[in-house]
Amino acid sequence: MGRVARFAVSIDEKLLERFDDYLEKKGYVTRSEAVRDLIRNALIEESIGEDKDVFGTITIVYDHHQKELADKITEIEHSYLHNIISTMHIHIDHNHCLETIAVKGKASKIKELADKIITLKGVKHGKLVVTGIEP
């Protein structure tokens, strides 16, 4: 970490009380660390909008009895070989599987990949989570 800068924040008392409750619930020791995390998260979210390089996971739950769904997922994954780092497949029960796909690349490409997989018929739930290196 570089040099530490200090700054003051003016904030409504009720908002500060809610923030302090949040800190306690999350286990933060200081407000400073919580503010740093919030700033990092905002900057990472901003980088997604700027189409910068991101890392993340696409997690889906799907019905493995859905006709040709596994083949469609694999076909899409093969079209994004440069973006997929790894996949993990878990059998939840007799009917459902969970797949987690670790990804990297330009934010727009990762979102495109996630949308193609998550919107397939038979995918019950899907979520893209992205992160990045602190700017």
**Which residues line the annotated binding site?**
78, 89, 91, 97
- For the chain, helix, strand, coil in percent to 5 are 40, 30, 30
Q: Cα(94)–Cα(73) distance, rounded to whole angstroms?
A: 19
Give CB contacts under 8 A, 24+ apart, made by 103-107.
103/55, 103/56, 103/57, 103/58, 104/53, 104/54, 104/55, 104/56, 105/53, 105/54, 106/51, 106/52, 106/53, 106/54, 107/47, 107/48, 107/49, 107/50, 107/51, 107/52, 107/53, 107/54
Residue list for the binding site for Ni(2+): 78, 89, 91, 97
